[in-house]
């Protein structure tokens, strides 16, 4: 990448994320002490702020910092930046940080024996925590209050102890339910990222049993915002893994509506709101509901444009990923691959280079696959192969198996299309070994692999007939509960039709899109 940073240097990364106003505030914070102005850590800050690439040698040459001092000065600067950012977040009314600040004040006052003053700060913190349903920290505040009340006579202890005990008991039950739902959501998401979709009856039985046995009992009318959020998230991952996209649509829609009905939550948990939008759009894409997809996507882009979604380091990355992923998906649905390459790719990489260092490998690989499909659909097989090879070269074990397997299938097809078939036997053998290794060797993959393996023995005038036979073999698995997952990543049938009808895959998908639009309009 042209803008590749040293990922191992945390200080440099932190400085790169600072906005202009954050840098100004940091300078003001540090310069409140006169001797800091010409300090070594400030010299380090100024030189690193101007660097596009981390270069330790250049830093040491342009400062009076010795090699021995370097590590300690970096650690000190890192800490000072975090303190400055914390102060800025408190001034911005970051509610979680404000609660923590009140809790710190309460602890200091308690240590000095000023119990009444300590309780006043705890009460202020509790008001904020209740307002925003921060139940875990609210429980911590109540436990601190109970400790003060039990050790020191501050008010009518008899009535207060009963109130605190009842409040604590209710919160413990709520936190337990919240934790159970959040754990279920997190574990299902981890399974989805690792494996993808269910592959057989064994997978299906496992995921259904796991979901049923780990779902806590609750009354939907009585649970809080966050409990509902974790419930809808868990349902989305569960239905996604099972490839039940209609149920997934219902749960993801409830997820997004939960935020729309609680506008305050958009500011508190913007990451969760963005993820809900993404899975709602993803589900509509898989269901091929074009009009609904474009309508929801327009709502999403409008909210981003109008500042309805808070922008910070986390949301900036997600907005980038979800915006470009769904722009590409829209071109997939329309069959406008060439237009997508022309209109999306330049701005995508302009923004991609700026945030590459903050993207995890999963996001990067998903984006590479979507780019490869866009190029493949446009007929640019060389660029498709280029990005597929990036996925295939990745040795990270936690990258989704189904994504890696789909990349290898598309790689074989793109190589065939581009005429790079001189080493086809070796490529087929390599793909075959990978499928076996990943335990992802199923009927659709087998038939495609064997098709390519036998293609070398077919005369040119017989090739079209071989494609017709392949289509007949694959089409019956198009709606198969497990085999259909291959078609979700790659429109193999449209590619086969392009070979049978002597048309570009782009034209085939455009024709299919026009036909589907007509059918939607007739409903």
Which among 54, 77, 76, 57 has a CA at the least distance from the CA of 67?
Answer: 57
178 within 8 A of 212, measured Cβ to Cβ: no
pLDDT value of position 153: 56
- Say whether both 105 and 83 belong to one domain: no
* 148 and 118 part of one domain: yes
**Same-domain status, 84 and 40:** yes
Check residue 224 and give its pLDDT. 86
Quick check: is 318 in a domain? no
Which pLDDT score is estimated for 6?
A: 41
The predicted pLDDT at position 37 comes to: 78
CA 385 to chain CA mean position, Å: 25
pLDDT in the model for residue 158: 53
Q: Give pLDDT, residue 302.
A: 95
Q: How many domains does the chain have?
A: 2
Cβ atoms 46, 112 nearer than 8 A: no
C-alpha triplet 325, 331, 334: angle, nearest 5°:
140
Cβ burial, residue 9 (10 Å; 0-12/13-18/19+): middle
Domain boundary among 46, 71, 91: 91
Q: Residue 339 is encoded by which pair of tokens? A: 């237009």
pLDDT tens for the chain, residues 1 to 523: 333 334 448 888 888 888 888 899 998 888 888 788 778 898 899 889 888 888 888 888 888 888 888 989 999 999 999 989 888 876 666 788 889 889 999 999 988 888 888 989 999 999 998 888 888 888 889 888 888 877 765 554 556 667 777 778 878 888 888 889 999 999 998 887 776 788 788 888 999 999 999 998 888 888 889 899 999 999 999 998 998 999 999 999 999 999 999 888 888 889 999 999 999 999 999 999 999 999 999 999 999 999 888 888 889 999 999 999 999 999 999 999 999 999 999 999 999 988 887 788 888 899 999 999 999 999 999 999 999 999 998 876 666 777 888 899 999 999 999 887 678 888 999 888 888 887 767 788 889 999 988 887 888 889 999 999 999 999 988 888 888 877 887 889 999 999 999 999 999 999 999 887 776 665 5
- Domain match, 38 and 65 both: yes
- 392-399 contacts at long range (C-beta below 8 A, 24 or more positions apart): 394/361, 394/365, 396/361, 398/193, 398/194, 398/361, 398/362, 399/361, 399/362, 399/365
Residues 19 and 85 in one domain: yes
Determine, yes or no, domain membership for 299: no
Looking at the structure, tell me whether residues 84 and 104 fall in a common domain. no
Quick check: helix, strand or coil at residue 380?
coil
Query: 69 and 46, same structural domain?
Result: yes
Position 125 in a domain: yes
Query: In Å, what is the CA distance from 192 to each residue of 9, 52, 249, 411?
Result: 31, 36, 17, 23
Look up residue 426 and give its two tokens: 């070796």
How far apart are alpha carbons 304 and 281 in whole angstroms? 15
> Per the domain annotation, does 362 fall within a domain?
no
Encoded tokens for 134: 């921060």
Q: Is residue 267 part of a domain?
A: no
Number of residues that make up the chain: 523
Q: Are residues 66 and 136 in the same domain?
A: no
Does any domain span residue 372? Answer: no
Same domain for 17 and 54, yes or no, is: yes
Residue 45: closest CA among 168, 34, 25? 25
The predicted structure's pLDDT at residue 5: 37
Look up the domain containing 54 and give its range. 10-91
Q: Of the residues 155, 173, 197, which one is the last residue of a structural domain?
A: 155
Residue 481 lies in a domain: no
Q: What's residue 2's pLDDT?
A: 37
| pLDDT reported for residue 318 | 93
Q: Cβ of 402: how many Cβ atoms within 10 Å?
A: 19
Q: What is the pLDDT of residue 496?
A: 94
Q: At what angle do helices 424-437 and 443-455 cross, to 10 degrees?
A: 160
- The pLDDT, as a whole number, for residue 281 is 97
Residue 193 inside a domain? The answer is: no
Do 24 and 85 belong together in one domain?
A: yes
Domain co-membership, 80 together with 15:
yes
Task: Choose one of 91, 106, 131: the last residue of a domain.
Answer: 91
8 A C-beta contact, residue 240 and residue 248: yes
């Amino acid at each position: 990448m042209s803008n590749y940073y040293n990922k191992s240097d945390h200080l440099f990364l932190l400085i790169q994320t600072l906005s202009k106003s954050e840098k100004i505030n940091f300078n003001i914070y540090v310069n409140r002490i006169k001797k800091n102005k010409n300090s070594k850590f400030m010299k380090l800050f100024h030189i690193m702020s101007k660097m596009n690439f981390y270069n330790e040698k250049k830093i040491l040459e342009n400062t009076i910092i010795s090699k021995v001092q370097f590590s300690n000065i970096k650690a000190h600067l890192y800490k000072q930046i975090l303190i400055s950012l914390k102060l800025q977040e408190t001034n911005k009314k970051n509610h979680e940080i404000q609660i923590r600040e009140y809790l710190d004040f309460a602890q200091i006052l308690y240590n000095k024996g000023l119990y009444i003053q300590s309780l006043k700060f705890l009460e202020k913190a509790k008001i904020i925590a209740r307002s925003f349903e921060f139940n875990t920290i609210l429980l911590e505040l109540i436990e601190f209050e109970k400790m003060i009340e039990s050790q020191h006579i501050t008010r009518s202890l008899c009535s207060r102890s009963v109130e605190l005990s009842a409040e604590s008991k209710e919160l413990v039950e709520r936190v337990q339910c919240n934790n159970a739902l959040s754990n279920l959501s997190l574990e299902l998401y981890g399974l989805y990222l690792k494996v993808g979709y269910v592959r057989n009856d064994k997978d299906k039985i496992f995921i259904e049993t796991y979901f049923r046995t780990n779902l806590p009992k609750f009354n939907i009318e009585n649970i809080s915002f966050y409990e509902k959020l974790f419930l809808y998230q868990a349902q989305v991952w569960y239905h996604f893994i099972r490839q039940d996209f209609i149920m997934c649509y219902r749960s993801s829609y409830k997820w997004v509506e939960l935020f729309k009905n609680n506008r305050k939550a958009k500011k508190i948990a913007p990451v969760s709101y963005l993820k809900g939008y993404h899975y709602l759009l993803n589900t509509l894409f898989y269901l091929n509901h074009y009009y609904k997809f474009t309508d929801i996507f327009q709502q999403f882009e409008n909210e981003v444009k109008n500042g309805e979604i808070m922008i910070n380091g986390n949301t900036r990355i997600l907005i980038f990923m979800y915006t470009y992923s769904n722009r590409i998906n829209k071109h997939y649905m329309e069959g406008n691959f060439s237009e997508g390459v022309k209109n999306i790719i330049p701005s995508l990489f302009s923004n991609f280079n700026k945030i590459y260092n903050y993207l995890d490998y999963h996001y990067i690989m998903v984006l590479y696959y979507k780019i490869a499909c866009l190029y493949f659909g446009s007929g640019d097989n060389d660029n498709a192969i280029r990005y597929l090879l990036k996925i295939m070269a990745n040795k990270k074990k936690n990258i989704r198996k189904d994504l890696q397997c789909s990349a290898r299938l598309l790689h074989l097809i793109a190589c065939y299309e581009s005429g790079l078939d001189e080493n086809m036997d070796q490529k087929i053998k390599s793909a075959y070994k990978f499928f076996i290794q990943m335990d992802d060797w199923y009927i659709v993959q087998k038939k495609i692999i064997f098709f390519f393996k036998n293609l070398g023995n077919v005369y040119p005038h017989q090739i079209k007939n071989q494609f017709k036979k392949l289509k007949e073999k694959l089409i019956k698995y198009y709606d198969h509960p497990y085999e259909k997952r291959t078609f979700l990543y790659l429109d193999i049938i449209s590619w086969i039709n392009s070979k049978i009808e002597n048309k570009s895959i782009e034209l085939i998908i455009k024709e299919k899109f026009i036909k589907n639009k007509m059918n939607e309009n007739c409903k």
